[in-house]
A and B are shown apart, each in its own frame.
Chain A
């Protein structure tokens, strides 16, 4: 029994991490229709900014956290302005964006090595361990779960109860109509990238505290966030949560029943089967 509760907690913690990784991806995709894989690179770079300011420059941890969020927001905006907007102006199609985003992902990894060096970095962070119904959970992990819930709640409010949310959805559904209606679609996309990338900063902070840093972590994060987002349906926030839970559940089950090395294999098999059966994800809808 205890073991089961513990496994559920492990699954929840991993699911929260994946949901944070996926949230920015989904948020950006739902408005701009850009599958921003370089989001993983943005997370990795801001995680390094967090580590650098807190461990090397010994800033206050709150200040460093702000720095991480500022970094990720700026990076997201720069990528949008320098790469995605010009591509849009040229009426580029899916393939162009895809190559561009993979190139940006690779550039992020190279930037980390060039600026911070190729070593792994440890923040050496540890927090109080609590025993909740027989499972061991740390303060950080509780905070992580709470933050994830709050973020998704806020995102939900934003998209359903604000004017900004409505204009976002209008932009996503039909850009031409939206601009005829007087919506500055470019500005909306800019704001979307800023907000979505700010989420990358939040993910970066938790990831860095929980799992430390590796210069190549961006690729794996992009892949995991991508998997969670696609299983759920890349345009849906609910989908991102459900996708993360499913992904994490399958991963924990495959570690438990098959062994740790099968973890990614099973996760990707799940993704593959899901795409075959429900290509638009669980909560995706077709966009005309």
Chain B
């Protein structure tokens, strides 16, 4: 009886293999009328929240471009691969995109790690890799066909640091998450801040209990706290627990915490938090993007700057392919020389000599659930208080 069962299992597995194998090979067939673009992004696992945010932005941009007639009459077809923010998963995914799907352009990766793992493969195959969100400094040297549309961390931290100094906050505490983006911002802040850093600690992703950390921070008696998380979720928990600890301190944050719907939903938590926002222009593409995003998904994006960056990367690629054709080298050249003050959703931007983007930033402050640009009230020194 058992033996019979086992044979049945072997048969089932065999049949499944054959069917899957058939699908496998049939799927590699022709790609006539579409422009295939690979996408590397974490769709499951720890980083799925950023990965799926990227996916929404890509899908939105592609649906708009295709509705407007596509690129040179071809529709864009995105081929998603789950890179899980993991090196090995990313290399297999990249290899599959490059050699089986034959894509010449890959959007991603979302994390720096997967981008760095993918780069040797895309470089060898001369495929263009365009990351909307990898911020690691190592990306700069990853290869001549590797580009990113997200700005370097230095500017935002510098801006916040000098604003803090100008308002007389010379004793700073830093809390940062152990991810490349958050650490990059932290290091840039430390480098440009001229006051004294009295407390500087990191926490691991997935951490939810910051109370003891906050008690320790309070003992260092800072005038301000600079919060550098990877996601708005972690940042909001820190703000909540700072408020519950009864501490009064000025809070500054990196732009991962700019989540307009969260700020609107919890005005008292975010009150008077100062952040440097990647300036989404108040007209043009950014507004269109936000309206279209709301129409398509029913809410505003969680990671506004990342979303705008991912959205822009699709349009940039479409524009480049539209004018120089489906050739990775030519598109790289186009990025290097033709993209000058390009008007994107994320702002006006340029690729610098390393393929990194340069964009505009503004200082904003959360006031009653809305983000108010600080320039407008530059002479007003904010009250040093966060709890109500």
Contacts and interface: CB of A to CB of B under 8 A. Distances in A.
Q: Is there a contact between chains A and B in the complex with CB atoms less than 8 Å apart?
A: yes
B209 interface: yes
B206 A211 contact: no
A126 B215 CA distance: 19
B385 interface: no
B237 A212 contact: yes
Contact of A120 (B51, B202, B219, B231): B231
A261 B246 contact: no
Contacts, number: 104
Contacts of B243: 126
B44 A260 contact: no
Which of the listed residues A6, A119, A210 has the most CB atoms from chain B within 10 Å of its own CB?
Answer: A119
Contacts of A264: 204
A94 B269 CA distance: 47
A113 B48 contact: yes
A7 interface: yes
B48 A118 contact: yes
Given A136-B246, A252-B212, A261-B203, A110 B302 contact: no
Contacts of B52: 113, 117-119
A14 B208 CA distance: 10
A32 B244 CA distance: 41
B207 interface: yes
A212 B240 CA distance: 11
B246 A215 contact: no
Interface in A114-159: 117-120, 122, 124, 126, 129, 131, 136, 138
A7 B266 contact: no
B319 interface: no
B168 interface: no
Nearest to B214: A10
B229 to A, nearest CB: 11
Nearest to A213: B233
A263 B207 CA distance: 9
A220 interface: yes
A120 B302 contact: yes
B213 A255 contact: yes
Interface in B199-248: 201-204, 206-213, 215-216, 219, 231-233, 236-237, 240, 243-246
Q: Please classify how large the interface on chain B is, using the bins under 10, 10 to 19, 20 to 34, 35 or more.
A: 35 or more
B178 interface: yes
B237 A220 contact: no
B49 A256 contact: no
B46 interface: yes
B49 A259 contact: no
A214 interface: yes
A13 interface: yes
A216 B201 contact: no
B20 interface: no
A216 B208 contact: no
A118 B47 CA distance: 9
Contacts of B232: 120
Contact of A136 (B53, B178, B244): B244
A199 B335 CA distance: 56
B265 interface: yes
Which of the listed residues A3, A10, A129, A263 has the most CB atoms from chain B within 10 Å of its own CB?
Answer: A10
Nearest to B302: A119
B212 A10 contact: yes
B43 A113 contact: yes
B206 A122 contact: no
A7 B204 contact: no
A260 B203 contact: yes
Given A13-B211, A119-B302, A255 B216 contact: yes
A216 B216 contact: no
A109 interface: yes
B44 A259 contact: no
A210 B211 CA distance: 12
A261 B201 contact: yes
B159 to A, nearest CB: 26
A4 B256 CA distance: 33
Interface string B243-271: 11110000000000000001001100100
B45 interface: yes
A137 B219 CA distance: 18
B266 A120 contact: no
Interface string B319-354: 000000000000000000000000000000000000
| Chain A to chain B: the 8 pairs with minimum beta-carbon distance, closest first | A118-B52, A120-B233, A211-B208, A118-B48, A260-B203, A10-B211, A255-B212, A261-B202
Given A10-B211, A126-B269, A210-B208, 4 more contacts: A3-B219, A118-B48, A126-B266, A216-B206
